[in-house]
A and B are shown apart, each in its own frame.
Chain A
């Protein structure tokens, strides 16, 4: 059952990622990104990370993806406009990416991973909250300042003509 779910969601994520590469239409690319983000979110459920899965769906699918789609709509006169790279650029990119994927997979499959000490029980939101406010307090506060800076910065950068 777990294997079936893994291959299903992993397949959705990977096929959508390939769809992003193949599609020359930026709107279809954004829709394929939805498939990848959703597939990865479902994989988080399989990995016992249900809180992270919820965050993935709320922040990534509900926030970042919508932002990207707004960006697509605001920056193209016609959303079906496509800038195609030259064949040489695509070929060079493919060679690099295939070598990278092949090398990484070889490395990962040959590596001798130690067996898990114990299966992590499904973590509760309470534990994550406790860690955020004790061990990870400084990054947490830094992140909140960063979000404020980003909010002001994005509003400043994207303002209309004076």
Chain B
């Protein structure tokens, strides 16, 4: 077994990223799409921290990852609030039903 290096983390992150993209395009439940976005953001964070450990000698990657976590939390809060409005209007959170501007 080769020692764990940067590439191991990058490949893992690429796979989680692809899973997140697939989750976003195949789920019809709005919350499933939100979960896909979280997967993509986590994949990006793994890359940031791995590069910070193996390539750079600075902590910049950690700080950026911190901001990504913050933005993901903010995005989830607003997203859930929008989906609750969506649900109140249409009585479902199937995104395919939200195809009109006036609900």
Contact = CB atoms under 8 A, between A and B. Distances in A.
- Answer yes or no: do A and B interact: yes
Interface of A: 2-3, 6, 10, 13-14, 17-18, 20-21, 26, 29-30, 33, 36-37, 40, 43-44, 46-49, 51-52, 55-56, 59-60, 63-64, 67-68, 70-72, 74-76, 82-85, 89-90, 92-94, 96-98, 100-101, 104-105, 108-109, 113-114, 116-120, 123, 127-128, 131-132, 136, 139, 143, 146-147, 150-151, 153-155, 157-158, 161
Interface of B: 1-4, 6-12, 14-23, 25-32, 34-36, 38-39, 42, 45-46, 49-50, 52-57, 59-60, 62-63, 65-67, 69-74, 76-88, 93-94, 96
Given A13-B12, A14-B12, 14 more contacts: A14-B19, A17-B15, A29-B35, A49-B49, A67-B80, A70-B80, A82-B29, A97-B25, A105-B14, A109-B7, A120-B57, A120-B59, A147-B74, A158-B84
A30 B34 CA distance: 10
A144 B85 CA distance: 26
A20 B16 contact: no
A118 to B, nearest CB: 6
Contacts of A120: 52-53, 56-57, 59
B14 A128 contact: no
Given A21-B23, A120-B53, A85 B35 contact: no
Prevailing SS type, chain B contact patch = helix
A92 B26 CA distance: 9
The 7 closest A-B pairs by CB, nearest first: A97-B22, A101-B18, A157-B81, A104-B14, A83-B28, A158-B81, A17-B19
A116 B51 CA distance: 9
A36 B42 contact: yes
Contact of A71 (B31, B59, B63): B31
B26 A26 contact: no
A20 B70 contact: no
A3 B1 contact: yes
B85 A3 contact: no
28 contacts: A14-B12, A20-B23, A29-B31, A36-B39, A43-B49, A47-B52, A49-B65, A52-B62, A60-B38, A60-B42, A67-B77, A68-B35, A68-B76, A75-B31, A75-B84, A76-B93, A97-B18, A98-B18, A100-B21, A113-B55, A116-B55, A120-B56, A128-B59, A136-B63, A143-B70, A146-B74, A150-B78, A153-B81
